[in-house]
Chains A and B, each alone.
Chain A
């Protein structure tokens, strides 16, 4: 099994949502701003529940926010 990478476009979606700040998103999904920063940078992969909450905040399906990629 290859190394798995989960990309996300949270940053782009935030700017599309009235330039929502990281703090605003963090408050809406119930985590810290540091966690949002880590998720955006791809250093921390959120739980499924948190991923759904983030996607729901932007009214998007989860696969529109997070893309799973498995390298060989």
Chain B
């Protein structure tokens, strides 16, 4: 298996291992995101760094040259295609998020806020609704990242 394919596998597994539990917990407790976000980010960096270090140590080519193998034209083509797919997913998800944040969340939040406090409806939109929009946006970026690495794996598997 190519070094870059192994790297994509590591990134995919780490992203799933960190972000699936993260979003499950955040969905249950939207306001607890700050501590969770810091923990998830640090954990992701440590996991990816650790696995890549182990992979580099166990790859004789990397040990000999002291550097990771350069991308050749096939690797670059696979990465370009993966970037294209991730870009499309990002675009669609940002569009969905915009619709969600500017139309659906206010449409749901304002009527309930008006019932609770008719005088200051917009100002009293619950923090949960606002945070939900942020989490959905972040979820979109996480999914796009996942699509990128999965596309790289699929690209290599197709040519294998």
Contacts and interface: CB of A to CB of B under 8 A. Distances in A.
Interface in B75-114: 75
A60 interface: no
Interface string B30-72: 0000000000000000000000000000000000000001001
Nearest to A49: B73
Contacts of A32: 2, 69, 72, 74-75
A34 B73 contact: no
Interface string A29-43: 011101101100001
B115 interface: no
Interface in A1-52: 30-32, 34-35, 37-38, 43-44, 46-47, 50
Interface of A: 30-32, 34-35, 37-38, 43-44, 46-47, 50
